[in-house]
Chain A
Amino acid sequence: MASEDVKILGAWPSPFVMRPRIALNIKSVNYEFLQEQFGSKSDLLLKSNPVYKKIPVLIHGEKPICESLIIVQYIDEVWDSGHSILPSDPYDRAVAKFWATYIDDKWFPGLRTISRAEGEEAKKAAAEEVTAGLVLLEDAFIKCSKGRSFFGGEKIGYLDIALGCFLGWLRVTEKMGNLKLLDENKTPNLFKWAEKFSSDAAVKEVMPETGKLMDFAKVLLAKSKAS
């Protein structure tokens, strides 16, 4: 089963798509990256994820797996090459899942709110929420890392992947909004971690370059204003 064909349906700008790609890199699993055209959904996507019609989708053999964090857990359970992505202790595992859920349900929507905010006041309020969230995550980092480089310890793990995939969009939001969100003074550990994560071997080649992402963001913004 593990040696069968592996494909990821996705798109290079999507932070959610980065997640399973990082996980497969950690496991040294070769995969075919099938990119969706922006603005349309391929037949393969519609067939593989009929419920949500969203990327990423992992197709292993013939079987599709959907939802980025569910895919990462699947990858960790199927391949034991590389290192474990989730912690081995059930409590630590639960804590990692808790913060990953927080990031997806509360923190990332807050980041998106900044770019949609109308007026300086609204932008400032949205930015403050994101920074407050990072302060919580700084505290989580200290507890989870136990003095080591990553949330997962010596090597990147589930929570590193869950948060780290948003670093590109975080930097774009900072540049476009002229804001400082990841602040070296407020969250020194996360600031250091961001650098280490971005330059990790499993992450480097799938992390979109900030300039390229910013160009893409400008196209998106123009399109949403035009409609």
Chain B
Amino acid sequence: MENKDSTVKLVGFWVSPYVQRVRWALKLKGVEYEYIEEDIFNRSHLLSELNPVHQKVPILVHSGKPLPESFIILEYIDETWKHNPLLPQDPHERATARFWAKFAEEKLFDAAWIGLCSEDDEHEGAVKSSIEALEKIEENLKGKNFFGGDRIGYVDIIIGWISYMLPIWEEVASMKIYDPMKFPAITSWISNFRKHPVIKEEYLPSKDEMIVYFQWRRKVLKGTFPPVFSMKKN
């Protein structure tokens, strides 16, 4: 008997890089799903119902059970649909993949976001920090097609935003983090990622719409974060 409630839904927001990761993962696994767009600036009941703690997208709903947080959703997808594995099988390689995904999120993504939404010392500090993080990622990509080797996987999906969103942020905030001359391994990885048969067929937000959106976010958020990079440390 087919369980009619084995459906998969993804609650997302058109430009969210977190949601984009889940789209890529579901596509790589060949999982059919219903996409539900949520305007995060004009929230429906869905967010507070399905993600009461954080009220954020993405939320994956599988057989009626909701799951938030892109990292957690990706591992859940990998464990539930076992073909085309995203994480390696070997425990040490898995730990390494998890480590680099966390590092890239905390030291590059979060820092680049602060760069986008700040000025002066804070902005300078965020850009410097982002470049340092990118250097470490560059080291780890040398000689490989994808982060885990020959096949696309978990870390590639987590850092996939670099291939299409980082240049937008750089343009909007007049910053240079990814210099193709300085990062040949990343340049090669970006090409492999974008050309991957599944990735290239998947939805991406339009460049023009992203520029408008992030210009607006920079304007609204500039100077509103507590300083991270320009703090005087004891």
Contacts and interface: CB of A to CB of B under 8 A. Distances in A.
19 contacts: A52-B103, A60-B92, A67-B99, A67-B102, A71-B95, A74-B91, A74-B94, A78-B91, A91-B65, A91-B76, A93-B79, A94-B72, A94-B73, A94-B75, A97-B75, A98-B72, A101-B72, A136-B53, A227-B234
Given A70-B98, A98-B68, A101-B69, A65 B234 contact: no
Given A67-B102, A136-B53, A224-B234, A97 B95 contact: no
A94 B102 CA distance: 16
Contact of A91 (B53, B67, B94, B98): B67
A60 to B, nearest CB: 8
Given A77-B94, A93-B76, 10 more contacts: A66-B99, A70-B99, A74-B92, A77-B91, A91-B62, A97-B69, A97-B71, A97-B72, A98-B67, A136-B53
Contacts of B53: 102, 136
Nearest to A2: B91
A51 B103 contact: yes
A135 to B, nearest CB: 12
Interface in A53-71: 60, 63, 65-67, 70-71
Contacts of A65: 92, 95, 99
B232 to A, nearest CB: 12
Residue from the set A77, A95, A98, A136 with the largest chain B CB neighbour count within 10 Å: A98
B76 A94 contact: yes
B149 to A, nearest CB: 17
B80 interface: yes
B135 to A, nearest CB: 11
Interface of A: 51-52, 60, 63, 65-67, 70-71, 73-74, 77-78, 90-91, 93-95, 97-98, 101-102, 136, 224, 227
A98 B91 CA distance: 21
B168 to A, nearest CB: 26
Contacts of A93: 75-76, 79
A16 B95 CA distance: 17
B136 interface: yes
Given A94-B75, A227-B234, A70 B95 contact: yes
Contacts of B136: 51
B54 to A, nearest CB: 8
Contacts of B75: 93-94, 97
List 10 tightest A-B contacts by C-beta distance, closest first.
A77-B91, A90-B79, A94-B76, A74-B95, A227-B234, A65-B95, A70-B98, A78-B91, A97-B72, A94-B72
A164 B92 CA distance: 25
A78 B94 CA distance: 11
Nearest to B62: A91
Contacts of A67: 98-99, 102
Nearest to B100: A51
Interface string B210-234: 0000000000000000000000001
A185 to B, nearest CB: 23
Contacts of B102: 67, 70
Contacts of B62: 91
Contacts of B71: 97, 101
Residue from the set B75, B94, B98 with the largest chain A CB neighbour count within 10 Å: B98
Interface in B53-98: 53, 62, 65, 67-69, 71-73, 75-76, 79-80, 91-92, 94-95, 98
Contacts of B65: 91
A91 B8 CA distance: 13
A92 to B, nearest CB: 10
B77 to A, nearest CB: 9
